[in-house]
Amino acid sequence: MILNMLKSMLSNFDMDPVVKLPAQKLAIIQHKPLEAPDLSKIRSLASPGENLDMAQFDGQRYVQPWKKTRKGIEFLDVFKLLIVSLGAKAPSKKEVSSMLSCKMNWQLIKSPPDSGGTQVTWMGHACFLIQIDNIKILTDPVWSKRCSPSKFLGPKRFCQAPCRIEELPPIDVVVISHNHYDHLDEYTIKKLGNAPIYVVPLGNGKTLRSMCVNAGRIVELDWWQECSITPKVSLVCLPAKHWSKRGLLDNNKALWSSWGILGSSVKVYFSGDSGYCSAFKSIGEKLGPFDLALIGIGAYSPDSLREFHMSPEDSVMVHLDVKSKKSIAMHWGTWKLSLEHVFDPPRELKRQLKMRMLDPDSFISIRCGETQQVLGAIQDQEEEEVLLESNT
Ligand code: ZN
Ligand code: ZN
C-alpha cells in the first residue's frame, strides 16, 4: 500500500511529461506552420514581348496553345479501359512486394541533406515527399484507395502508400498539378488540413476551399508565375499539355500545370500530367538545367492517351529538353489507368535510354517508399574542389 502511494505521488511529479508523447505527436506540436507567402510578390518570369506558351482563359474555361496531335479514343478502347478500371490485370500482392514497394527509410527522412542538396521519397504515382532547404513539400498527394469520386467504384490502388498519412513528418507545402482524382484527393487534403500552404494552378482554390482549406493558405498561380515560399525556396507554375475535370460540367474550368521547385542550390522539375509538347524546351531554356526532374512515364496506351500523358519515349525527350541531370519516373505502378502492362513503363524507359545511348542512371525508376538524395550545384562544386585538391 505504501508502495502504491509512493508511485501515485511520483506520477504527480512527472518531471518530463513530454517524454511520454509519441515522437510523431511531439514533432507536430513543435512544428510551426509556414507563414502564408506575400501574394503581392508573385512575379511573372515572362519578359515583355517574350513568346512563351500560355493558356488562354475565355472567361469560362482554359484553352491550351497546342493543337491536337492524335486521333480521339475509339469505342473499343473505352470499353477496355472500363474493364481495366474494374481491376483487371492489376499485379498480385506478391509481384508488388517483390518488384515495386519497399519499406520507408525513416532514418534518412529524419536527417535530410543540408541546404546543399535535396531528398525525395516516392509515395506512389505522382506523389513525392521533397525535402529541400529544411522544408517538406508533398506533390499531388493521394492516400485514398480509389482515384475516383466514388469510394466503391473506379481504379483501386494495387500498390499501397508506403506509410499512413499520419506517419508523415509535418508538411510545409502541398503542390498540386491539376484536379484529376489521381492527383487531388479530398480525403488526403482534409487530413493535411490547414497546416501546409497549398500552391495550385489558377482556378483550383475553389476546390480546395470546398475541402475546408482556408483561403489564406492557398496560392493560385498562372503559367510562368513564381512565388517565394521561404527566403530560400520558390515555386514556379509551368506549362503542361493536359486538361482538367472533376465534376460533370467543369471541363477545363481550372488550370493544370507542371512545376519548378527552386531551392538555394537545387532545382527540381515536377512534370504533373502532360503530353509531349514544345513547352519543355522553353522550360529548359528558361530555368534549366534542373538537378532533378520527376517525370511521368505511364498511362500511354491506347495511343490516344499520349495526347495528354507521356510514354517513356516522350519522357526521355522531356528529360533532355528540361536539361535534367537526374530524373526519377512517376505516374506508373500505383493504379491501373491504361492498357499497357503495369511493369512496361520502367522496362520501356530502360530500352529508350539504351537506344539513345544515354546513361541508364540519369533517368531511373525507383520503388514506392524509396528515398533518393541529390546534391546541388554548390555541393557538386565543393566535391570537385576536394577531388582536385586530393589529386594535386
Ligand atoms: Zn490528369
Ligand atoms: Zn494522372
Structural domains present in the chain:
92-391 (3.60.15.10)
Q: Which residue pairs, CB below 8 angstroms and at least 24 apart, start in 351-359?
A: 351/312, 352/312, 352/313, 352/315, 352/316, 353/316, 356/316, 358/316
The neighbourhood of ligand 1, an ion, using CB within 5 A, equals: 180, 273
pLDDT of residue 380: 53
> Do the bridges between strand 197-201 and strand 173-175 make them parallel or antiparallel, or are there none, so unpaired?
parallel
Distance, CA of 286 to CA of 265 (rounded, Å): 17
pLDDT of residue 22: 47
| Cα 39 to ligand 1 centre (Å) | 27
85 or 241, which is more confident?
Answer: 241
| Contact (Cβ atoms closer than 8 angstroms) between residue 104 and residue 160 | no
| Cα 107 to ligand 1 centre (Å) | 33
Which residues share a beta bridge with 329?
295
Helix 344-355 and helix 312-321, axial crossing angle in degrees, nearest 10: 50
What proportion of the chain, given as a percentage, has pLDDT over 70? 87
| Cα 303 to ligand 1 centre (Å) | 16
pLDDT for 288-311, tens place per residue? 999 999 999 999 999 989 999 999
| Cα 274 to ligand 2 centre (Å) | 9
Residue 286 CB partners (closer than 8 Å, separation 6+): 45, 52, 224
pLDDT for 345-367, tens place per residue? 999 999 999 999 999 999 999 99
Mean pLDDT rounded to a whole number for the chain? 88
What proportion of the chain, given as a percentage, has pLDDT over 90? 73
Return the ligand number nearest the Cα of 182.
Answer: 2
pLDDT of residue 154: 85
**Single-letter code of the amino acid located at 316:** V
| Cα 140 to ligand 2 centre (Å) | 9
List the Cα angle 292/190/119 in 5-degree steps: 20
pLDDT for 136-158, tens place per residue? 999 999 999 999 898 888 889 99
pLDDT of residue 87: 66
Distance, CA of 379 to CA of 285 (rounded, Å): 23
Query: What is the pTM (predicted TM-score) of this model?
Result: 0.88
| Cα 180 to ligand 1 centre (Å) | 5
Distance, CA of 271 to CA of 325 (rounded, Å): 15
Return the ligand number nearest the Cα of 337.
Answer: 2
95 or 6, which is more confident?
Answer: 95
| Cα 116 to ligand 1 centre (Å) | 33
